[in-house]
Amino acid sequence: MNIPVRKWFIAAAALMLCTGSASALTVEDYTRLVKLEVTVAHLYISGVGAGLLWANAFDEKSPGRAGSIYCAPPQLSLTAKNYHDIAVAAVGRGDADGTRIGDEPIDYFLLQGMIATFPCH
C-alpha cells in the first residue's frame, strides 16, 4: 500500500496533537482519528490489542495469579478491525459509573470489550 508521505505526516501530527505525552487516546480523540485517518487509528488500536494479548499471556503464566484476563480461542487471530469493533461495542454499552465516556481512554474500553467478548469460565 503506497500512501503519500504528506498523508502520513498529517495523520502522525493529528495523533500527536490528540495524545499528549505518554497518554492513551480518549474515546473522543480516537473517534476523531478514525474519521481523519482510519489506517492510523487501526494501527493504534491494534497496538493496544497486541499489548493486551501479551499482558494476558504473561498473566496466565505468572506465579500467584488466578489466570487469564480474557479467554480468546487460541486459534483466533484478531485483526485491527476486530479490535476496533470490540472497543466500539464496549463504548456503546456505556459507562456504569456515569463519567463522560468521551474523556475515558479507548484502551479501557478495548480491555472491557475483550473481557466481555471472551469471558473465562
Burial (0-12, 13-18, 19+ Cβ within 10 Å), 41: buried
C-alpha to C-alpha distance for 19 and 22, rounded to whole angstroms = 7
Burial (0-12, 13-18, 19+ Cβ within 10 Å), 110: buried
Rounded to an integer, the average pLDDT of 35-45 is 94
How far is the CA of 14 from the CAs of 8, 22, 41, 105, in angstroms? Answer: 10, 15, 11, 17
> Is the pLDDT assigned to residue 21 strictly greater than 50?
no
pLDDT over 90, % of the chain:
50
- Higher-confidence position of 61 and 31: 31
At 65-88, the pLDDT tens digits run: 667 889 998 899 999 999 999 999
Which pLDDT does position 44 carry in this prediction? Answer: 95
Instruction: Give the DSSP H/E element, type plus range, for residue 43.
Output: helix 38-61
Which pLDDT does position 116 carry in this prediction? Answer: 94
- Higher-confidence position of 22 and 42: 42
